Structure 1
Amino acid sequence: MEIAQNAALIVVDVQKGFEELDYFGPRNNPGADDSILSLIDVWQATGRPIVFVRNDSDWPDSPLRPEYAGNDFKEYVEQRRGKGAGPELLVTKSVNSSFLGTPDLDAWLKAQGTSQVVLVGIQTNGCVETTARHGGNLGYDVLFAYDATYTFDVEGPFGWRRTADEVAQASAVSLQGIGFARVVTTKEVVDAAQ
């Protein structure tokens, strides 16, 4: 695997509100935060571009709504913002795709000359997957760092219920199987980026 020197790390919605398990339910991948942290550190140390995305939910009871403590980035993310040697961007959004936030992520990436992105964050099957699909449609080489994401158990139509692991695996299979992204591990990315 090759990681371009101007490949952007897109850190999607790593916010305190996702720790409110009474709201979101059981989650998977307890090591995701460590994986996200290691990728941020490598990106900042190597001077690559990094994008921090924040979900400013417009749902009135959401733990991610603005002016609520859950809207803030998790502490380890907040401590690293503005500390890297490379370009950095903050994108805010109220929808799933980071490409539909403010400022325009696609325009910023193009200005950096970036054609490869690495996606991490929360939720695997929500905003991270949607950003991966959108990025793939825009022509980016999308790497989806599976173990640097997590999600929650979910109930869908007809009373179907899936565990967080089942949902995450289905997301990964769809992304790679349909050609939106390459699903990779944090170790693969870190090894290639150092």
Structure 2
Amino acid sequence: MTREPDLTDAALILVDVQEGFRDPWWGRSHELETAYAKIARLGREWNARGLPVVKVRHDSQNPESPLYAGSSGNRFVTGVASLREDVIVTKTVNSAFLGTPDLAEWLRARGISTIVVAGVQTNACVETTARMGGNLGFSVVVPLDATATFDLEGPALAGNPPIRLSAEDLMRATAVSLHGGGFAHVTEVSTILSALEEKS
């Protein structure tokens, strides 16, 4: 996907913008609070234009998770909780397309073919939702600076120490995989806001 799709009727999909990600349990993040502010800014712009907003909430089934269903960490952050939404999708896995209600069905019933995906974590629920959206035939836009993630450790291979990637490394990898792989158009919040202004 080399050019940004038309955002005239795009739905904004806000993935897991929840209080629980502020918990130190996750480790070091890349500008989580900055991402939350930019996500809320996108939401306000969508609300002001009467465009569809979908809030996605991860209802963890793990009692030790900061996102455990029913806990204080499960709540949306204030800047997102105050937004008007058209629907709330709840999920227990990475992809918003495997939640309740059925997101793809909801979008298609309203003739929505373009989605803007923002939220947490960049390399997990955001990337998985974007990939599935692309696979399902939607035009997907991901404003990378309206996402955030955390440092992550992987496996130890060939006798080497465990692979560890910083949040910044993971975000770059997501950008390359999604954009270079044709799943989504990866861009920035400022570019999206400019595109909305041009349509006004």
TM-score scaled to structure 1, two decimals? 0.94
Q: 1:157 aligns with which of 155, 159, 167?
A: 155
Q: Deviations over 1:97-151 (max 9, x none)?
A: 0000000100110011111000100000010000000000001110011000000
1:46 matched to 2:44: no
Which secondary structure does the structure 1 equivalent of 2:69 belong to? coil
Q: CA RMSD in A?
A: 1.1
Instruction: Report if aligned partners of 1:52, 1:91 keep a CA contact under 8 Å in 2.
Output: yes
Partners of 1:68 and 1:49 in 2: CA distance? 27
Instruction: Report if aligned partners of 1:50, 1:89 keep a CA contact under 8 Å in 2.
Output: yes
Q: How many residues align?
A: 188
Report the alpha carbon displacement of residue 4 of structure 1 after superposing the two structures with TM.
Answer: 3.1
Where does structure 2 lack aligned partners over 5 or more consecutive residues? Answer: 157-161
Instruction: Report if aligned partners of 1:132, 1:181 keep a CA contact under 8 Å in 2.
Output: yes
Detail structure 1 runs of 4+ shifted over 2 Å in the superposition: 1-5
What is the aligned partner in structure 1 of residue 94 from structure 2?
96
Partners of 1:89 and 1:177 in 2: CA distance? 31
Q: 1:14 aligns with which of 17, 25, 34?
A: 17
What is the aligned partner in structure 1 of residue 69 from structure 2?
66
Which secondary structure does the structure 2 equivalent of 1:36 belong to? helix
What is the aligned partner in structure 2 of residue 144 from structure 1?
142
Range with bigger deviation, 35-44 or 25-34? 25-34
Range with bigger deviation, 28-37 or 57-66? 28-37
Higher Cα Rg, which structure: 2
Report the alpha carbon displacement of residue 81 of structure 1 after superposing the two structures with TM.
Answer: 3.3
What is the aligned partner in structure 2 of residue 85 from structure 1?
none
TM-score scaled to structure 2, two decimals? 0.91
